[in-house]
Amino acid sequence: LDSLKEQMVEFPQTRVIVVDDGGEEDLSWVKEYPNTILHRKRNGGAASARNKGLDIADKLGTEYIAFLDSDDEIYSNYLPTIYGDMRDGYAWVSYDWKCDGRKEWAEQTTDPLMINCAAWAYCFRADIINSARFPEHMVLAEDQAWLHMVLRDDVKHKHSPVIFYNYLWRGNNNSVVHRYLRGELKEVREENKAVMLKNIFYISNINSIGGIETMLWNMARKYGPTHDITVLHKTGDKAQIDRLRQFVRVKKYRKGEKIRCEKVFCNLDVSVLSEIEADEYYQIIHADYKVYRINFHPHPDVNHYLGVSENTCKTFHEVSGQDIEQCYNPIVVEKPKNILHLLTASRMTWEKGRGRIEQLATQLDKAGIPFLWTIFTDDAGAIHHPSIVYVKPRLDITDYIADADYLVQLSDTEGWSYAIYEALCLGTPVIVTDFPSAHEMGIENGKNGFILPMDMQNVPIEDIYKGVKKFKYAPKEDPWGDILDEGASDYEAEMSRNVK
């Protein structure tokens, strides 16, 4: 803290988060340091303490993140080096370091996949870390497990020979760093530069949607936190890759790169197996080989076949003659969120609120609220959004209005919207903009709907998602019974004479 204090004169924007993991000593003096936050918690281990620090950093909107251990030393070039590299646009940088003041104890490889084994040997751009957290169930090598999640090789990164950190050995020969120095946790075989991994799942192209992609997603969520898993691919959908990276390492295949692992799993495409040196090779059979008339061409390295169902095992064995083991796909079922069902019946023009519809959809997305927005209109495709569905207009949509969570009308103004009126009479709450007739209709925030400002600022998204209680709405008494003439009409008789 003393060293940081001196360096923060030049870098006053730096914030220091101190997490006390169950200590009993008086730490009130910590708050005397500039820009320093002290958080005290029950003892939960290093992973728990770092995760709490990451949570606090998220709330602060931190741009860059680095870790320090309180019993180590940093040199006077610590902050200048980190800020210099990060301002050059790097997403992450690893650095050389010393152990008890001796660099020869901590010689580092320059291999881009895995360089250091400790989180304090890096600086990260905060968006690279995202929601990745240290596995709190692990008592050893939690740094390595976490680094596998965040060290992406498809972003600007580098290894720097600069030394600003001195790891002080306190006599613990079983620490991750000392096991690493003894070669027990090496990630790179120096003799052939082959990357050392545990389990590799190879998929040529990670599609935006698909059964194999869903299997990988469930595999990552269920086993990623406790197992070393790498997804190897040639091409892939960014959204799929980003969500996988929350739990497992995702690496782009580079032709000619030798990879070493204990087990490799592939699907139909086995073309890269010659580039992977593994103890065991698995091919996963997902399809009915007889129905799809798949020609089987065995790869000489594959020594295990896994079928996702009894039928796939049976038909694969009949076609190939190979022994195969049944292995159901993993699945993680989380409690689903309620889908917010919205309905609009309107032209998709600017005065009818097209821009505001886009804004509300964006705000719902940012809040993580799943929704399905049905729009009855002739202007299909006016807004391209995966949760907006267009339906051709029809004469009566009251059944659809009654089934919706909200009738939405975000116009500049409305004389007297029948869609809103029908919704209220049906007991369906409404979301409208602040035009005069909305108040005249008797719309009240939180009771039978929500009136939003025209600029769409400060929209109560969470309140909308929670919904409103059931309500009864009395339609306005109309005076048409007094306005219209009474009595029978001679219209038909007159028309009959004229025709004759």
pLDDT exceeds 50 at position 313? yes
pLDDT exceeds 80 at position 186? no
In 3D space, the residue among 279, 108, 99, 100 whose CA is nearest the CA of residue 185 turns out to be 108
pLDDT of residue 114: 46
Residue 35, Ramachandran bin (φ over 0: left; ψ between -120 and 50: alpha; else beta): left
pLDDT of residue 499: 61
| Phi, psi (deg, nearest 5) at residue 353 | 95, 25
Partners of 373 in the β-ladder: 342, 388
Instruction: Flag the least confident range among 17-26, 95-104, 479-488.
Output: 95-104
Which amino acid makes up residue 457? Q
pLDDT of residue 252: 87
pLDDT of residue 486: 85
Is residue 175 very low, low, confident or very high in pLDDT (cuts 50, 70, 90)? low
Quick one: what percent of the chain has pLDDT higher than 90? 60
pLDDT in tens, 122-140: 999 999 898 889 888 765 6
pLDDT of residue 169: 64
pLDDT of residue 188: 36
Residues 6+ apart with CB under 8 A from 481: none
Query: Which is more confidently placed, 315 or 227?
Result: 315
Helix axes 46-60, 142-150, angle to 10 degrees: 30
| 340-466 matches 2-188 in CATH topology | no
Instruction: Flag the least confident range among 133-142, 175-184, 339-348.
Output: 175-184
Per DSSP bridges, beta strands 371-376 and 388-391 are parallel
pLDDT in tens, 235-277: 999 999 989 988 888 888 888 777 889 999 999 999 899 889 9
Choose the CATH number for 194-326 among 3.40.50.2000, 3.40.50.300, 3.40.250.10, 1.25.40.420.
Answer: 3.40.50.2000
pLDDT of residue 497: 67
In 3D space, the residue among 300, 299, 255, 303 whose CA is nearest the CA of residue 279 turns out to be 303
CB atoms inside a 10 Å sphere around CB 171: 6
The mean pLDDT of 94-119, rounded to a whole number, is 61
The mean pLDDT of 468-492, rounded to a whole number, is 89
Distances from the Cα of 203 to the Cα of 93, 213, 228, 409, 441, angstroms: 28, 9, 17, 45, 57
Domain 340-466 part of CATH 3.40.50.2000: yes
CB 429 within 8 Å of CB 471: yes
pLDDT in tens, 407-461: 999 999 999 999 999 999 999 999 999 999 999 999 999 999 999 999 999 999 9
Report residue 155 as tokens: 């972003």
pLDDT exceeds 70 at position 357? yes
Partners of 69 in the β-ladder: none
Query: Which is more confidently placed, 498 or 86?
Result: 86
Query: Which is more confidently placed, 43 or 423?
Result: 423
pLDDT exceeds 60 at position 184? no
* 328 DSSP 8-state letter: P
pLDDT in tens, 8-32: 889 999 999 999 887 777 888 888 8
pLDDT exceeds 50 at position 103? yes
Quick one: what percent of the chain has pLDDT higher than 70? 89
pLDDT of residue 500: 54
Residues 6+ apart with CB under 8 A from 38: 18, 20, 27, 30, 31
Query: Which is more confidently placed, 146 or 354?
Result: 354
Is residue 97 very low, low, confident or very high in pLDDT (cuts 50, 70, 90)? confident
Is residue 388 very low, low, confident or very high in pLDDT (cuts 50, 70, 90)? very high
pLDDT of residue 101: 57
Instruction: Flag the least confident range among 204-213, 250-259, 280-289, 302-311.
Output: 250-259
pLDDT exceeds 80 at position 327? yes
Residue extents of the structural domains in the chain: 2-188, 194-326, 340-466
pLDDT of residue 23: 77
Separation between Cα atoms, residue 308 and residue 59, nearest integer Å: 43
Report residue 472 as tokens: 């009864």
User: Per CATH, which fold does 2-188 belong to?
Assistant: Spore Coat Polysaccharide Biosynthesis Protein SpsA; Chain A (3.90.550)
Which amino acid makes up residue 183? G
Residues 6+ apart with CB under 8 A from 471: 427, 429, 447, 448
Separation between Cα atoms, residue 422 and residue 401, nearest integer Å: 8
